[in-house]
A and B are shown apart, each in its own frame.
Chain A
């Protein structure tokens, strides 16, 4: 590798390379599962760190690897909290609808907060070139985005869902930073609509088969109708996932760095459906294979466009941050991984 001084040379597209291998990841994964079962779930926090260290450490851009620094204890704290709410909701529902309603309200009310905390935890524990990523703690923005998108979805009877997805992308991507430099996200909301409309066709296909089977009263194939309905949902989800990932990456910039994502909806649908079938028929043993191949496809279809040395001038946040200790103590208490 050469040490290249910053210069205003023309931008070049660089591939991100994924070195992960199913056989390596399988061994990490199986250890995690066995220990997770033996410890009734406690080890899963350590397992998550180990898996992420493997997956991040095998992701390479410009000869440097990514890294994950999550503290398992904090992940465990978050899981216990969210787990308690979830169990409260599930069991509460069996005992009394009122208890379930209370837990549901708590979960619903906390979701925007949980989203912020989870993003902040995961990003600030991810690094590239010894510089941490970060997420701006903006609860107000999160609640506004959440309520707005809920309102739009409800009032449009679901037709506004793509716009809600667009709002979420705007909220998240504009608050992510690398070091002290924030990402910037610009995209046309119409393009979100075109992704969702195509995905709707998969739903429609599944529903059409299901309805046909019911109308024909074809007893033997009702089960097939159900399976088609479910597979249609998975396919639609995959199509949306690929489309939104493309829009998110292609609309994002980090100072002079641009991104280009070329995921194919069809390939993603194929990957999701085969992943699902393989995982079900192997009682879950194919999960590590599914994770590695999905990640490989995603990573290897994302390009980073930058001119020589564009990264070199990006600075860590710590250089300017004057941390107020009081705010830190509050942040520290809630510094946990709230994503399950």
Chain B
């Protein structure tokens, strides 16, 4: 503390040439300041006199970090004396200092800091629940066809999709059921091998892919239609592009908050899976609605899902929280409930 009068401040001086700490006083007089070394011959202090205040710089205040005075010739004086700042800034020619005062006010006030924390939490929750889903719909609608084709072509290569000629790989019954289903659809459907697994999905350019195994599993053309109407729902509602935008937005948000990329994986998986689960339910609802419009029994979707679930190893259907799809059980129950209304 400064107990030596308003114009003397105790601290430590570093000359910038050697790492030697020299206890010293900073002495303010008029529009200049000088340093007086403690425990050193007075002759040494003579080097450190008469610095015009306009040529020295005071470090900005960062909580309780000692304040630093730097001179143009490289001296550094550190002090914890809290009175230094007011003594320096009240002079006719104040020292240079860099202040971003509006923001420092938040730092100095608990009320503002807690207010900011609440605002930030609210912003994260709002972004997640409202903002990101809403603008991803808006943005996705503006993605040009050219980009969609490019994305689809790359997905096609990355997934090593092995397209098959339905006439060559399907049994007669499956083939005629498939052809019947196609008459009621607005999308372009291709048949793939997909390692003998039952699956169907949509790429962003509006082509749907369905596996041979799934086609063979279906017991009526309506079941195939139900699965493909679900995929058409993803297309009509533009889910694929929305998914891309949503997961990118979440990573951007996590990077902004944590300041790094190493944290993104797990929260990203947890948070964005919720969006795609919502999309699955929406596509199911779409399929149920369309089936009803066409005068068909919407339960066919539940039936084929049940059969698909039966054909899969049990652990595939168990990652409730992590999965991008709701579990089959959940979806089947939901479809049955929706169609009952």
Binding site for B on A (CB under 8 A): 1-3, 19, 24, 26-28, 30-31, 33-37, 41, 44, 46, 48, 50, 53-54, 57-58, 62-65, 67, 86, 90, 94-97, 128-131, 178-179, 214, 217, 219-220, 222-223, 226, 230, 279-280, 283-285, 287, 309, 311-316, 318-319, 340
* Contact status B319-A222, CB under 8 Å: yes
* Contact status B14-A129, CB under 8 Å: yes
Question: Contact partner of A28 among B19, B63, B121, B258, CB < 8 A?
Answer: B63
* Contact status A97-B158, CB under 8 Å: yes
What is the 8 Å Cβ interface bit string for chain B, positions 34-71, against chain A (1 contact, 0 not)?
00001110000000000000000000101111101000
Question: Contact partner of A33 among B17, B65, B120, CB < 8 A?
Answer: B120
* Contact status B12-A64, CB under 8 Å: yes
Nearest B residue to A50, CB-CB? B62
Expressed in whole angstroms, the minimum distance between the Cβ of B339 and any Cβ of chain A is 27
Contacts of B320 on A, CB cut-off 8 Å? Answer: 223
Given contacts A31-B107, A219-B318, contact A2 B39 (CB under 8 A): yes
* Contact status B18-A3, CB under 8 Å: no
* Contact status A1-B21, CB under 8 Å: yes
List 21 A–B pairs whose Cβ atoms lie within 8 Å, in order of A's numbering: A2-B23, A27-B63, A31-B106, A33-B256, A53-B65, A54-B65, A57-B62, A58-B63, A64-B21, A67-B68, A86-B261, A95-B151, A96-B150, A131-B18, A131-B19, A217-B314, A222-B318, A284-B258, A285-B120, A312-B18, A318-B17
What is the 8 Å Cβ interface bit string for chain B, positions 236-258, against chain A (1 contact, 0 not)?
00000000100010000000111
CA distance A96 to B248 in the complex (A): 17
Q: Answer yes or no: B113 CB below 8 A from chain A CBs.
A: yes
Question: Contact partner of A214 among B40, B257, B315, CB < 8 A?
Answer: B315
| Contact residues, B109-131 vs A (CB, 8 A) | 110, 113, 116-117, 119-121, 123-125
Question: Contact partner of A217 among B17, B315, B319, CB < 8 A?
Answer: B315
Question: Contact partner of A285 among B18, B21, B121, CB < 8 A?
Answer: B121
CA distance A62 to B65 in the complex (A): 16
CA distance A279 to B266 in the complex (A): 12
* Contact status B19-A179, CB under 8 Å: yes
Contacts of B334 on A, CB cut-off 8 Å? Answer: none
Expressed in whole angstroms, the minimum distance between the Cβ of A85 and any Cβ of chain B is 12
Binding site for A on B (CB under 8 A): 12, 14-23, 38-40, 60, 62-66, 68, 74-76, 78, 100, 103, 106-108, 110, 113, 116-117, 119-121, 123-125, 147, 150-151, 153-154, 157-158, 244, 248, 256-261, 263, 266-267, 314-315, 317-322
Nearest A residue to B314, CB-CB? A217
CA distance A309 to B159 in the complex (A): 66
CA distance A249 to B151 in the complex (A): 49
Expressed in whole angstroms, the minimum distance between the Cβ of B85 and any Cβ of chain A is 15
Expressed in whole angstroms, the minimum distance between the Cβ of A229 and any Cβ of chain B is 11
Name 9 extra pairs, CB < 8 A, besides A97-B158, A220-B318: A28-B62, A34-B119, A65-B65, A94-B154, A94-B244, A219-B314, A283-B125, A314-B19, A318-B16
Contacts of A28 on B, CB cut-off 8 Å? Answer: 62-63, 107
CA distance A86 to B262 in the complex (A): 13
* Contact status A312-B19, CB under 8 Å: yes
Nearest B residue to A313, CB-CB? B18
CA distance A311 to B39 in the complex (A): 18
Nearest B residue to A311, CB-CB? B19
* Contact status B16-A283, CB under 8 Å: no
Q: Which of A97, A316, A318 has the most CB of B within 10 A?
A: A316
* Contact status A130-B123, CB under 8 Å: no
Expressed in whole angstroms, the minimum distance between the Cβ of A215 and any Cβ of chain B is 10
Contacts of B266 on A, CB cut-off 8 Å? Answer: 230, 280
Expressed in whole angstroms, the minimum distance between the Cβ of A296 and any Cβ of chain B is 15
Expressed in whole angstroms, the minimum distance between the Cβ of A232 and any Cβ of chain B is 13
* Contact status A95-B150, CB under 8 Å: yes
CA distance A319 to B20 in the complex (A): 15
* Contact status B78-A37, CB under 8 Å: no
CA distance A319 to B18 in the complex (A): 9
* Contact status B103-A31, CB under 8 Å: yes
Nearest B residue to A64, CB-CB? B21
* Contact status A31-B113, CB under 8 Å: yes
* Contact status B154-A95, CB under 8 Å: yes
CA distance A219 to B316 in the complex (A): 9
CA distance A314 to B315 in the complex (A): 64
Contacts of A54 on B, CB cut-off 8 Å? Answer: 62-63, 65
Expressed in whole angstroms, the minimum distance between the Cβ of B270 and any Cβ of chain A is 9
* Contact status B63-A219, CB under 8 Å: no
Closest 3 CB pairs of A and B: A57-B65, A130-B14, A219-B318
Nearest A residue to B125, CB-CB? A283
Q: Which of B147, B318, B320 has the most CB of A within 10 A?
A: B318
Contacts of B39 on A, CB cut-off 8 Å? Answer: 2-3
Question: Contact partner of B63 among A2, A24, A62, CB < 8 A?
Answer: A24
Nearest B residue to A179, CB-CB? B19
CA distance A259 to B256 in the complex (A): 35
CA distance A287 to B260 in the complex (A): 12
CA distance A314 to B20 in the complex (A): 8
Question: Contact partner of B120 among A19, A37, A86, CB < 8 A?
Answer: A37
Question: Contact partner of B18 among A36, A96, A316, CB < 8 A?
Answer: A316
Contacts of B22 on A, CB cut-off 8 Å? Answer: 3
Nearest B residue to A315, CB-CB? B18
* Contact status B40-A3, CB under 8 Å: yes
* Contact status B62-A53, CB under 8 Å: yes
* Contact status A94-B151, CB under 8 Å: yes
Question: Contact partner of B16 among A50, A131, A223, A313, CB < 8 A?
Answer: A131
CA distance A313 to B19 in the complex (A): 7
Contacts of A34 on B, CB cut-off 8 Å? Answer: 106, 116, 119-120
* Contact status A27-B19, CB under 8 Å: no
Contacts of A37 on B, CB cut-off 8 Å? Answer: 120, 123, 256-257
Given contacts A57-B65, A94-B151, A96-B154, contact A284 B19 (CB under 8 A): no
* Contact status A64-B78, CB under 8 Å: yes
Contacts of B18 on A, CB cut-off 8 Å? Answer: 131, 312-316
Contacts of A128 on B, CB cut-off 8 Å? Answer: 19
CA distance A31 to B20 in the complex (A): 36
